Every structure is written in structure tokens, then in C-alpha cells.
Amino acid sequence: MPFNFKYVPVLRARQQELLVLDSFAFEEGMIPLLEIIKEKDRVNNTRSVQQIWLEHIWQSAVGRLLVDLPTYIRDAASMSDEVVAFNRTLLSNMDRRIDFFASLAPAAAKVIPVVSSLFAKTGQLGTIAYQVNALRQTFGALAFRTFGATFEQDIPEIEVDITDQDILIYDLDTAQPLHPLVKRHMTRIGGLQGPYKVAIRSAINTEIQNIKLAHGEVIPDADNSLLDVYDSLLHMNAFGDYAGIKKDDLGSGGTISPGFIFYDPLDNLYYGFRGEIKDLGEFERTIVPSVLDSEVVKRILAEHPSYLSDKNAGYQQLLAIRSGSVSGKSQAKFKRIAMEHYLHCIRTKIQEGTLA
């Protein structure tokens, strides 16, 4: 079996996620999945599309990188214009999808293209086989991503085309790992011999909003249970999620809403912290001191300090903000802090052998 990783952080092609992709040391037990959701990484970038994404791919501190043109995206009123345009012109067009992946051929030794059916988007049949035939000779391995809603249509094609050099990704979306439909699909997947199998689930969903967080309390609707059951109950080789942040609706932005979601690696829970007013200064005044002085941070430092070591870039940023050496008046910065903290915790679990 050519793979031996435990975790797939799903990173969308937006500023903070790309900064994490470019800088975080993922190491051997982790293979990121980059969801490219727009043509360029920023609107004012004048370089070619190929140059932009190849640079991110080469710069990422990881041996292999899953690259996906996600098929689950649907137009929404709140979605940014550039994501809507990309969805309509490329994500839904078979030939343009293949051309995009072909443009990444210079990095073929590092890139693993993610193949998904377009049937739900376009009504086309045989789209998995079409992509496999077009990409197989260029890329040494492919990943096949299927979803609970499309699994019954996808799996017959996947069973024909997948090899023991490939990866199978089952995306639960927000379904519980022990949902009867998921269990039925896992039985079918269990019969597949050869491919490396990954279950992905969004732990923090759109419905969880900063203004509704109970300050300093566990977020009951944030469910990271896939980490505990992907191996023992689902019999998958690895698990994935959205790297400690919310899987949102790819909106174009909103009002200031100071809030922060902090991961507790000891109990596999998330804690919420929020400001008292809609002011960016609340990150420095209220949120950072509340996190650093919280009982959960004290417990982690006492029981397992490696989770909050100097290698945890997110935690170090919180300390720097409290000391006044860096500014904390940025909602986007706290998205990156949450990701870097979570990723460090998962990396630590892998290094210490405490992840299944």
C-alpha cells in the first residue's frame, strides 16, 4: 500500500487557508486536501492561473497534496461573485476541469487529483471514468471523492476504475458517523480491496455562529467524533475535516463578529469565546485573555503541555497578542490561529501515536 497517513485537513483556497498551506509543516502522517474554489488566490493577482496554483503546490510543506475542484458547491445568494463565476465556468464543465488538472502536470509527482462525479451538477453519466481516462497517465495516483447523497450512483463507477495506488474519500458532510445510511455505505466500501480509505466530515458547520457562542463554554453542536471512530467503527485508514474551522457557505463577507473557536485535544471538544460588542478590539480585550486564562488551557498545560508548546504557532500568536507584540484586531487572523492550533494538536497526536 503506497500510503500511510492518518489525517486529511481540508483547506479551501482562501487567504488564511492558503497561508496555512504554505507555512505549516504537515509531516508524513498528514496529506492536505486543497479545494480550489476560485480562479485566482486573490482578485488582483496578475499571474497566470497555472503559475498561481503551481506556486502554492510547490511551496506547501508536504510530500503529497490532494487537489480538488469540489463538486458539492451550489450557487447561493451569499456566495462571493468569484466563487459563483468559477462554479459556473469550470467546476461544472468536464473539459475545463480536465484542462485545469492538466495544467498542474509539472507538479505531477506531488499532486493527487481528486475525481468526483458531475452527475448531480450536469446530469452527465460516466464522468468518473472520463476523468480517470484523461488523468491516469499523467498522475501516479488519483483520489475518488464520493458523498452520502451520490454514493449509490458513484460507487459502481469507482469500483471499476479505482486501483490499489489510489485513495477513496467518503464525505459524510454533516451526517453522524453511525447514521444508518453511512453504515450501509461503509459496508460496501469495506468490500473494496486495495485503495486507501478516508472519511471526511465537517465538525463545525455554518449554523454555529460567533454571536451565539456561550462564552468560555463547550460548543455542543460541534462534533469531532469522527476522530475517535474512523478506524474502530468505520474501518477507514484515515479521517479528515476542515482543520478546526467552520465549513461555511463561501460568502462574500459579513459584519464584524468577534468570536473564536478553540479546540481541546484532551477531550476532543470545542470551546467558544466571543466579544461583548461588535468591535475588533474585543479580540484583544476579551477573547485572548479569556482563552489563555481558561480552565481548558490550564488543564492542557498541566496534563499535556506538548499540545501548547512553542511549535504551536496558533497558541504562540495568542501569547504574542496578549503581550502586545502583535495586533489582534483582525477577524481573519483568528481563523488562522484556530487552524494552526488544531493542526498542531492533530500532528502531536500522530507523532505520539495516540491517534488510531
Average pLDDT for the chain: 94
Kindly state whether residues 262 and 206 are assigned to the same domain: no
Kindly state whether residues 186 and 46 are assigned to the same domain: yes
Kindly state whether residues 334 and 270 are assigned to the same domain: yes
- pLDDT value at residue 233: 93
Kindly state whether residues 233 and 276 are assigned to the same domain: no
* 3-state helix/strand/coil string of the chain: CCCCCCEEEEEECCHHHHHHHHHCCCCCCECCEEECCCCCCCCCCCCCHHHHHHHHHHHCCCCCEEEECCCCCCCCCCECHHHHHHHHHHHCCHHHHHHHHHCCHHHCCCEEEEECCCHHHHCCCCHHHHHHHHHCCCCCCCEEEEECCCHHHHHHHHHHHCCCCCEEEEEEECCCCCCHHHHHHHHHHHCCCCCEEEEEECCCECCCCHHHCCCCEECCCCCCCHHHHCCCCCCCCEEEECCCCCECCCECCCCCCCEEEEEECCCCEEEEEECCCCCCHHHHHHHHHHHHCCHHHHHHHHHCHHHHCCCCHHHHHHHHHHHCCCCCCCHHHHHHHHHHHHHHHHHHHHHHCCCC
Kindly state whether residues 265 and 326 are assigned to the same domain: yes
Is 191 domain-assigned?
A: yes
Kindly state whether residues 22 and 162 are assigned to the same domain: yes
Kindly state whether residues 197 and 276 are assigned to the same domain: no
φ and ψ at 237, to 5 degrees? -80, -25
* Single residue among 234, 250, 266 that ends a domain in this structure: 250
Query: In the structure, what pLDDT confidence band is assigned to residue 206 with cuts at 50, 70 and 90?
Result: confident
Residues 6+ apart with CB under 8 A from 234: 177, 182, 186, 199, 226
Kindly state whether residues 143 and 11 are assigned to the same domain: yes
CATH number where 61 lies = 3.20.20.70
* Single residue among 196, 231, 250 that ends a domain in this structure: 250
Is 13 domain-assigned?
A: yes
- pLDDT value at residue 78: 82
Per mean pLDDT, which range of 11-15, 58-62, 102-106, 304-308 is the poorest? 58-62
How much is the average pLDDT of 176-201? 95
Query: In the structure, what pLDDT confidence band is assigned to residue 79 with cuts at 50, 70 and 90?
Result: confident
How much is the average pLDDT of 88-109? 95
Kindly state whether residues 263 and 236 are assigned to the same domain: no
Query: In the structure, what pLDDT confidence band is assigned to residue 249 with cuts at 50, 70 and 90?
Result: confident
User: Domain total for the chain?
Assistant: 2
Is 319 domain-assigned?
A: yes
- pLDDT value at residue 251: 74
The pLDDT tens digits of the residues spanning 233-248 come to 999 999 999 999 999 8
Kindly state whether residues 87 and 184 are assigned to the same domain: yes
Residues 6+ apart with CB under 8 A from 319: 292
Q: What is the pTM of this model?
A: 0.96
Kindly state whether residues 239 and 279 are assigned to the same domain: no
Decide the pairing of beta strands 269-274 and 259-264: antiparallel
- pLDDT value at residue 250: 83
Report the share of the chain in percent with pLDDT over 90. 86
Is 1 domain-assigned?
A: no
* Single residue among 227, 250, 273 that ends a domain in this structure: 250
Is 22 domain-assigned?
A: yes
| Domain extent for 268 | 255-356
The pLDDT tens digits of the residues spanning 8-50 come to 999 999 999 999 999 999 988 999 999 999 999 888 899 999 9
Is 2 domain-assigned?
A: no
Kindly state whether residues 180 and 198 are assigned to the same domain: yes
Query: In the structure, what pLDDT confidence band is assigned to residue 61 with cuts at 50, 70 and 90?
Result: confident
